Amino acid sequence: MIKRLNASRRALTGALIVALPVLVQAQTAAPSAPPSQPATREAQALPSLAPLVESVKGAVVNVDVQSKASGFGQGENPFMDRFFGGEEGGRGQRREQIRQGSGSGFIIDAKGLVLTNNHVVEGAVAIRVRLDDGRSFDAEIVGTDPLTDVALIRLKGKVENLQTVKLGDSDALRVGDWVVAIGNPFGLASSVSSGILSARARDIHSGPYDDFLQTDAAINPGNSGGPLFNLKGEVVGINTAIVGGGTGIGFAVPSNLVKALMPQLEKDGAVTRAWLGIGIQDLTQDLAKALRLPVNEGAIVSQVNEGSPAGKGGMKADDVIVAIDGQKVGSGGQLTRTVALKKPGTTSTVDVFRDGKRQALKVQLGTRPDREGVSSRQRRGGEETEQSSKARVGVSLSNVDPRIVERTGLRSDQGALVTDVLPGSPAERADLQPGMVVVEVDRKPVRNAEELAKIIRQAPAGSTLLLRVEVPGNGRFLRALQVP
């Protein structure tokens, strides 16, 4: 069982066993200290990690979080809403609870940007960050990505003289290389442990993009979000999870993945991923032999979703993907991670084997549907989107749910769904109606509600936006939205 590592403040209330020294009186006093044994001299010659720790520990922080949880009895039961009225029913009355937890993090920018785990700050109503020098700051969430368990937060107030660390190259790590973990296990601030990189590319079945580093450096509850350093003092991973009952088995998010996500987290607060729209499985040696292929590694296309980017690009079931944009694909998981880091809307070259022959397909990548409901859980910018578009033109928007696409037969899973239109508003005068999906503005694609809200917010007063809307079951039409 894999366990996340944020720790409760009561974690140290258990008994501590203290070993008392036993003093033994020497029978005879030695006239002088004996000469050092060869083994002792060799041990003294081993390099110390102290200079490394002293150079980086000032950038490692403790993250104390108060988070809100509401539920029925012992846990939340959303199905009870239908029968007991949600927040007003007798048996189904909701109770709000404030939970306290702690984790770790590290400062990567002198302006006060801190990296940590998403599960450390998820649902936070208050975040307090304590520095190694004794200072503490309130903090706010800048961006989160639950699918990789990465979060970016920012210190509030006047921040100065902050020590920072930088992200290193996790791909340069070799199994057996030394690593150092610093964090806040069980509330014990600035605890240091060391070990080696035990394995790479671990899939611990926590999400679709698992690619964890495994280490035997001591990692415990409260280490979540803390840095894993190489011997250069660079962060090569964010400590994230441990195996329940395991000793010396911890996992960290690779720094190169974090670097790829950082620009979107800082700019947009969330991560938008590219998507092919296919089902895949790993190519094995037996399957390669049965398919008469000259390769043993790749991803077999088990199905192609109707109307998907892959389908539009000519991909077929039983194609075997071996490369994308010149990058080798060794497995289905590797393909998923590679595609996810690309920008939606870009055109990629996908090399496939079909009927034993290699060919290249041009595929315009789409935007991955939010199957896990991440956007609704994050709700970052959601209220701002709702308020900005509704206040200016009288329209409420949301992202397109894949279930709506399947149920209504929409041609695309991208766009902004109109959920409400105020009477007498510019949106009503433009004949916008709930259920329509805005797919283009001024002949440019719209990927989601946040994109359309931003366009509306930035449109000059008196301008007219040309919208292309899709009406489920009736096709696409143009609408002219005048911006007051």
Residues that are catalytic? 119, 149, 224
Nearest to 195 by CA among 210, 212, 211, 175: 175
Angle of helix 382-393 relative to helix 449-458, nearest 10 degrees, comes to 50
Rounded-to-integer distance, Cα 149 and Cα 166, Å: 19
Q: How far apart are CA 223 and CA 107, in angstroms?
A: 15
* Residue (of 199, 197, 188) closest to 221 by Cα position: 188
The Cα-based distances of 281 to 109, 163, 318, 455 in angstroms read 40, 45, 10, 40
Q: How is residue 7 annotated by DSSP?
A: B
Strand, helix or coil at 453? helix
Alpha helices in 67-143 (DSSP H): 81-84, 118-121
Token pair, residue 296, equals 């043993």
Report which of 409, 407, 430 is spatially closest to residue 418, judged by C-alpha positions: 430
User: What element of type H or E holds 178?
Assistant: strand 178-183
CA distance 232 to 226: 17
Residue 351, token pair as written in the block: 């090399």
Backbone φ and ψ for 427, nearest 5 degrees, come out as -65, -40
d(CA 181, CA 187): 15
